A and B are shown apart, each in its own frame.
Chain A
Amino acid sequence: MRFSVISTQSFGLWSWGLIPWIASMNSLGLAHLSFLSFFFFLFLIYPSSLSWNLLWLDWGFDYLSLCLICLSCLVIGLSILMSLESSCSEMTKSCGLLLVTLILTFSTSSLLYFYCGFEFSVVPMVYIILRWGSEAVRLVAAGYMVVYTLFSSMPLLWGLACLADKTCETSMLILTKTPFSGYMDSLWWVAMILAFLVKSPLYPFHLWLPKAHVEAPTFGSMILAGVMLKLGTYGLFRVCPIYMTGHHIINSVVIAMGVWGSAYSGLIALRVLDMKEMVAYASVGHMSLVVAGIFSNTTWGWGGAFIMMLSHGLVSSLLFGLVGYMSTYSGSRGFIFNRGWMNIRPWLSVFMFIGCSANMGVPPFPSFLGELGLMTGLGLYNWVNFIVVGISCVLTGAYSLRLYLLTQHGSSPSHLRPIESASNGPAVVSFIAHSIFIILLNFIWVM
């Protein structure tokens, strides 16, 4: 029991001190704060090594968590910038709460703290969907999100309690012993990974994601796709070393679901009529591949998953920003109402081009490196995966081209004409910054 004394106590104390300070800021201030903390953590990466740097008790970080902290600071800052014109104090508060929660979540070495942040980060996200969602269906969408994440994270809590009780330790640093053996071991392993699979999301558990994205406001879906999904894959990166050597049957099932699910969600993305839903299915496909890459237990797979995770964070954030921008002005998320944007906003199609080609993994963009690593790692696991991952990459290219061609080319409909004279707003800055950081991601140092 003593172990639990220190553990959850300090999670609470840290976060409470920071929240009132951040709650007193305005939106631009919070954007500044998140950019500043992005650069702060970015410069921490280089002096720190790949291994863990512990600060105090169970608080500290390694390379992976520093990269994810940087990603969350950047994406939250850029998403605030994206909807700066319609910002209000509740938006600042919820984004600030999310920022603090994510930084704390990624900077612990204890799985229990991580669980706390993993669970709590759902609260501001659901609030964002409920408060700024446009239609009454948002209640259903938020309900789906809560039910999926809640039900899947209860077994994780049980798994952590088993781990804490049998091995007296929940630290990520020395996660080598498992509490059970035999069939209980398999049950425990499913309980440990299920929450992360749902959060990532792996293909069959993804149903909450497109709904949540369709109903969320632009900045909400940018944060959701950019950072929140990475909580799941980050958790997998942390718990998977337990089964690094053994070939667990469950791991093969997860790989199969990830690889085939990626191809399926590519097919779904080819035929949906809603732009936001399409980008959501694109992120389901990419994240399923990332999950499969983590479970392949190869160096290539892990490196590819790492790069793909970071690049997907920025690329999907950019795409959601663009799609949200278009649908704000055209009044609809449907492809039918968004044609010929190139005539209306020529600069928009530049960013759309960058976003779509980064999404499909064209060489100068980091997604290419990610896909290369994932394909190699999964192919090393089993040669069939080469074919399926290849199909899913082709499908990715196809739906990215579809998104670009349908929205940018063709004659622009008459309801878009009046928009020609509207001002651009701070969204452009957000798109430019996204594009720059996507390119800069190429210079990342692979684990």
Chain B
Amino acid sequence: MSGSILTSVGSRIFSLNTIHTYFFFILMFSGGLMCSSCTDLFTGWVGMEVMLLCFFPVVLKHHMPWLSVLGCVNYFVIQVIGSNLYFVSSCFMSAFDSKHWMISILLALFLKLGMFPFSFWVPKVYSSLEWGGCLMVSVWQKYGPLFIMANNYLNQKFWWLVTLSGVLSVWIGGMLGVTVNSVRVLMGWSSVCHAGWMAILTLTSEWILLLYFLTYALICTALFSMFELTGLMNFSSFAYYSQTTRACLCLGLLSMAGVPPLSGFFLKWVGLLSLIESGFELISLALIMGSGMSALLYMNLVFTLSVHSWAMSLSYPITTPMWEAGDYIRMFILIFMFPFLFFFLN
């Protein structure tokens, strides 16, 4: 039992064993900060590139690097296409002094975020990455593009593009996610839905966006590290879990789905209030209906966890990956951050 929550969970799901991976980890965070504090598009591009390049040494485990190579390569190709499109169109924008290049910049960012017209890469990448990689793709890699969008005033001018893509990715993510059989791909579609929410929130208030992002990051970290610790691959492996593990997983998933007393509800409520405050009443209605659709993503998983399993009735003992007490406590803290978040709003 050493160090903080982040270190001990992080050392298990990322390869934070040696000092140079820590270096890349910190470099990745600084790339994100570069994106969120930039005033021009070029610095944002540099920040996104730094984040992308530091992603690989953090995610690839050096004692078994073959595990997620395929996912990394797929992800790299997609992100490079997005970056190049971004770079070229921002050059054109300054060269020709035309605001309409912002459309292709936004499309490039949607490609990087995995939002609606370009969400085809999500199942491929998520299914071939490990949970640590999935967590990075879902959370930290989204930070850069989102805050570039939030910082740029032209984002407001093309609000129709952002809201169209956001609402459609919430709906499409929910629709495509319900048919999926692998848990990682399912979480990939869930990240598409949340990216849609966050992209629309870039139009309203940066603080609300940050709050949404942080809460989403907490829930994601909790859930993905639970998946990692229980060694979960697909739906059938649930049958071996103990009652407490199932309850924890269920709570995490329900929190992701936005069931009220859990942190996920906070995301919806704060997002809705901020959207309505900015005058997006009908769009927020479409968005929250899509959120209902995307909550159905987790339904199959929660149902599978709740059904009394056949493995319980087996006569021989099955070895399951055991958790320490500290693991449960960490998970509960991460899932039930809910009331404390409200203090930040004051």
Which residues on A are within 8 Å of B, measured CB to CB? 1-2, 4-5, 8-9, 11-13, 15-16, 90, 115-117, 119-120, 123, 126-127, 130-131, 139, 142-143, 146-147, 150-151, 153-155, 157-158, 161-162, 164-166, 180, 184, 187, 191
In the complex, the answer to whether B303 meets A143 with C-beta atoms within 8 Å is yes
| Contacts known (A150-B296, A162-B276); A11 close to B303, Cβ less than 8 A | no
Among B254, B261, B273, B289, contact of A4 (Cβ-Cβ < 8 Å): B273
B interface residue count range (under 10 / 10 to 19 / 20 to 34 / 35 or more): 35 or more
The interface residues of chain A lying within 8 Å CB-to-CB of B259 are 119-120, 123
Specify the main secondary structure of chain B where it touches its partner: helix
Bound-state CA distance A116–B269 (Å) is 11
In the complex, the answer to whether A146 meets B296 with C-beta atoms within 8 Å is yes
The interface residues of chain B lying within 8 Å CB-to-CB of A9 are 339, 342
Bound-state CA distance A37–B201 (Å) is 45
Closest to A162 in B: B276
The interface residues of chain B lying within 8 Å CB-to-CB of A4 are 269-270, 273, 342, 345
The interface residues of chain B lying within 8 Å CB-to-CB of A162 are 276, 281
Bound-state CA distance A165–B269 (Å) is 11
In the complex, the answer to whether A5 meets B346 with C-beta atoms within 8 Å is yes
- Which residues in window 249-292 of B have CB below 8 A to A? 254, 259-261, 265-266, 268-270, 272-273, 276-277, 281, 284-285, 288-289, 291-292
The interface residues of chain B lying within 8 Å CB-to-CB of A180 are 281
- Which residues in window 301-331 of B have CB below 8 A to A? 303, 306-308
In the complex, the answer to whether A146 meets B299 with C-beta atoms within 8 Å is yes
Is B101 part of the contact surface with A, judged by Cβ < 8 Å?
no
In the complex, the answer to whether A139 meets B303 with C-beta atoms within 8 Å is yes
The interface residues of chain B lying within 8 Å CB-to-CB of A166 are 276
In the complex, the answer to whether A8 meets B292 with C-beta atoms within 8 Å is no
The interface residues of chain B lying within 8 Å CB-to-CB of A154 are 288-289, 291-292
Q: Kindly list the 4 A-B residue pairs having the minimum CB-CB distance in the complex, ordered from nearest.
A: A116-B260, A161-B272, A154-B292, A130-B306
Specify the main secondary structure of chain A where it touches its partner: helix
Closest to A136 in B: B307
In the complex, the answer to whether B289 meets A11 with C-beta atoms within 8 Å is no
In the complex, the answer to whether B295 meets A127 with C-beta atoms within 8 Å is no
Closest to A157 in B: B288
Is B338 part of the contact surface with A, judged by Cβ < 8 Å?
yes
The interface residues of chain A lying within 8 Å CB-to-CB of B291 are 154
Cross-chain pair count, CB within 8 angstroms: 100
In the complex, the answer to whether B288 meets A5 with C-beta atoms within 8 Å is no
The minimal Cβ–Cβ distance linking B191 to chain A, given in whole angstroms, is: 20
The interface residues of chain B lying within 8 Å CB-to-CB of A142 are 303
In the complex, the answer to whether B254 meets A165 with C-beta atoms within 8 Å is no
Closest to A154 in B: B292
The interface residues of chain A lying within 8 Å CB-to-CB of B276 are 161-162, 165-166
Closest to A150 in B: B292
The minimal Cβ–Cβ distance linking A5 to chain B, given in whole angstroms, is: 5
| 26 interchain pairs, CB-CB under 8 A | A2-B346, A4-B270, A5-B346, A8-B261, A8-B265, A8-B266, A8-B269, A8-B338, A11-B260, A12-B261, A12-B336, A116-B265, A119-B259, A123-B259, A127-B306, A130-B307, A150-B296, A154-B289, A154-B291, A155-B285, A155-B288, A157-B268, A157-B288, A158-B285, A162-B276, A162-B281
Bound-state CA distance A139–B254 (Å) is 17
The minimal Cβ–Cβ distance linking A324 to chain B, given in whole angstroms, is: 19
Bound-state CA distance A430–B299 (Å) is 34
Among A115, A117, A147, A158, contact of B296 (Cβ-Cβ < 8 Å): A147
Bound-state CA distance A184–B281 (Å) is 9
In the complex, the answer to whether B285 meets A191 with C-beta atoms within 8 Å is yes
List 18 additional contacts besides A131-B308, A158-B272; criterion CB under 8 Å.
A2-B346, A4-B269, A4-B342, A5-B346, A15-B261, A115-B260, A120-B259, A123-B254, A126-B306, A142-B303, A143-B303, A146-B299, A151-B289, A155-B285, A155-B288, A157-B272, A165-B273, A187-B285
Bound-state CA distance A426–B272 (Å) is 49
Closest to B341 in A: A9
Closest to A90 in B: B243
Q: Mark B144-178, 1 if CB is under 8 A from A, else 0.
A: 00000000000000000000000000000000000
In the complex, the answer to whether B342 meets A151 with C-beta atoms within 8 Å is no
The interface residues of chain A lying within 8 Å CB-to-CB of B345 are 1-2, 4-5
Bound-state CA distance A157–B345 (Å) is 20
The interface residues of chain A lying within 8 Å CB-to-CB of B339 are 8-9, 12-13
Bound-state CA distance A87–B343 (Å) is 42
Bound-state CA distance A146–B306 (Å) is 14
The minimal Cβ–Cβ distance linking A304 to chain B, given in whole angstroms, is: 32
The minimal Cβ–Cβ distance linking A99 to chain B, given in whole angstroms, is: 15
